[in-house]
Structure 1
């Protein structure tokens, strides 16, 4: 009989929900607490690249949202005027019946994951977090912020870049760092030419267009924001247009349609990487709590999803709990570190306006690495 029978997951985002699904499919009792009182999601859309499509299929959730997503095969790289530079074919890693890549709205993805987790029996409580815990080596006695207590065999911190659980494990050793960049996002009706992920790059700027549905796509753009400014809502549309001033082609045409301040999603880029084992005793970090990075390689959420799947596999193998968690680390650490460091590198080269930076080469290297089995 397994020694992991009841698990607490702190954080109801992509990583936490995927961990809940993976563990419930193993028959583990799962409680999930989320600090938000309303289970809302932040952002516009998300790219599920080929490795993520493979892992989501293994989790048994991909079929549920293909109808609400946009399947595509290739990645196109263009200069800032929209002239083609490279076309990188996708790989159907999940099998011939599945697409290479998927674009989906974050709301649709959250709905699929949260519905699946609850249907599988995850017990969800909102407006709640962990106040304290005691690890007595035989289990965890967890006290919540409403002063209730429960006992668990394992606690998973999936509570994001500002993880409270990370602070409990490592104090202030690891704190988020602003990179100097921010990302802007805005939804549009899908243009017929955007049937793939299209990225536009050069010393003059960077942007991308991601298909989300037959009638929907989103534009993203990165910008250098050295002082990490705060923008009032009424400044967002005009500032996003200014950040795209050097972009031509389709992005230049779309720029003038950015007029609704309330639809602009602006997010400063903050990163953190726990450069030692992500667990102590019976407490483990996954996703952004352990390795938050920038969106330049489109793999931030993907790494959290992979964390969840690998944890579901390793947690019920042979050996002691520390041995199993160390096997999880062996499979995850270098892969996540590569994504983290190279995503940050891409942003640094953008800010330096480095014309020699080989984004095409980096993209191909990333796709090759992530196509490999975990």
Structure 2
């Protein structure tokens, strides 16, 4: 079977763009299609922990990402009143020259990833996706939604939670499920003293603050939302303040500044974990298309970037594609499964009002796992 020379990536999110840069850096031809007609970024900020920083460094992206974000070392656990319970030090898994953690706005991260992928020679087309694909032993014939066609050695479905590639190749019965929780987010100016990730455990909700840049941070609060109700956009500010009612300290002071519903980002928590294997012939899933998780561990995007690292390393090896994709599963499946299930478990505990000890113990275990090499 011929070496992988040309790859189609469907989806221009964090995972897809990271993979594009990784493959181009190794000389593989890459086409990337994104269904959006222009680049738009949903959300406010993102937390990159030690394993994500290491993965970004392996892809040659970290220096640019570091310049666009806010580096920090520690995570502080606080009571709902704002009293410090424990300060957890981070690990510099990428080496002493890089920080343990990084906060960055999603827009800034997207600009870095999209510009780097383009500079490395990725052919990027916006406003279209895959209409039909047919594969044989030697390749995949793809027809796009604009009527154009292409042939590839491998097609990568990096098109997110509601992946069209997954539906086309793996079956429409694989659908995301709502966990019972949602998350509200809002940006604020960052005071100098907020130089770490702040997580506050409340009785009914959990909230926190994450630095994103010299001047910016974001607040989040998770909440139980039985039935996944439709939330009117003009009520988002009122609802976010309501979910923050039990919090004091800096969260309580900031709460009263949440007045513009257009500044609130609301997202129901939906998950999916595709059974092994994540490939069918010459089509493979990665990122949220294969393993979308809740944000409780800040690892959703990180797992997608790790997927990109492993695929980039494997696809240049001189071995049959079936063997390479099998190795991809060996390196990714159990790790992703543990983290997805752990994030869901934390959310379940929150909704049940379970003890803080269970949550803290599981978080520490996850930190140990993600610190291990890929």
SS of aligned partner of 1:82? coil
Distance 2:249 2:353 in 1: 20
Distance 1:280 1:355 in 2: 42
The Cα offsets for residues 83-135 of structure 1, whole Å up to 9 and x where unpaired, read as 12221111111111111110000000000000000000000111101011110
Q: Which residue of 2 aligns with 1:290?
A: 290
Distance 2:255 2:358 in 1: 26
Q: Which residue of 1 aligns with 2:94?
A: 94
Distance 2:22 2:323 in 1: 20
Correspondences of 1:183-262 after superposition (within 5 Å): 183-262=183-262
SS of aligned partner of 2:187? strand
TM-score (ref. length: structure 2): 0.98
Q: Which residue of 1 aligns with 2:64?
A: 64
The Cα offsets for residues 170-216 of structure 1, whole Å up to 9 and x where unpaired, read as 21231000011001000001123310111001323200100001111
Give the C-alpha shift of residue 318 in structure 1. Answer: 4.0
Cα-Cα RMSD: 1.2
Which runs of 5 or more residues in structure 2 are unaligned?
A: none
Whether the 8 Å CA contact 1:88–1:364 is kept in 2: the answer is no
The Cα offsets for residues 327-374 of structure 1, whole Å up to 9 and x where unpaired, read as 011000001001100100001110111135522212211111100001
**Mapped pair 1:338 → 2:338:** yes
Q: Which residue of 1 aligns with 2:116?
A: 116
Whether the 8 Å CA contact 2:55–2:306 is kept in 1: the answer is yes
Distance 1:146 1:298 in 2: 36
User: How many residues are treated as equivalent by the alignment?
Assistant: 374
**Mapped pair 1:33 → 2:33:** yes
Give the C-alpha shift of residue 2 in structure 1. Answer: 6.1
Whether the 8 Å CA contact 1:185–1:264 is kept in 2: the answer is yes
Distance 1:219 1:22 in 2: 32
The Cα offsets for residues 295-323 of structure 1, whole Å up to 9 and x where unpaired, read as 00000000000000000111122431111
Q: Which residue of 2 aligns with 1:171?
A: 171
The Cα offsets for residues 249-273 of structure 1, whole Å up to 9 and x where unpaired, read as 2111111111111110000010000
Correspondences of 1:268-279 after superposition (within 5 Å): 268-279=268-279
Moved over 4 A (4+): none
Distance 1:87 1:205 in 2: 20
Moved more, 344-353 or 64-73: 64-73
Q: Which residue of 1 aligns with 2:303?
A: 303
Which runs of 5 or more residues in structure 1 are unaligned?
A: none
Q: Which residue of 2 aligns with 1:45?
A: 45
SS of aligned partner of 2:345? helix
Distance 2:346 2:356 in 1: 12
Give the C-alpha shift of residue 8 in structure 1. Answer: 0.3
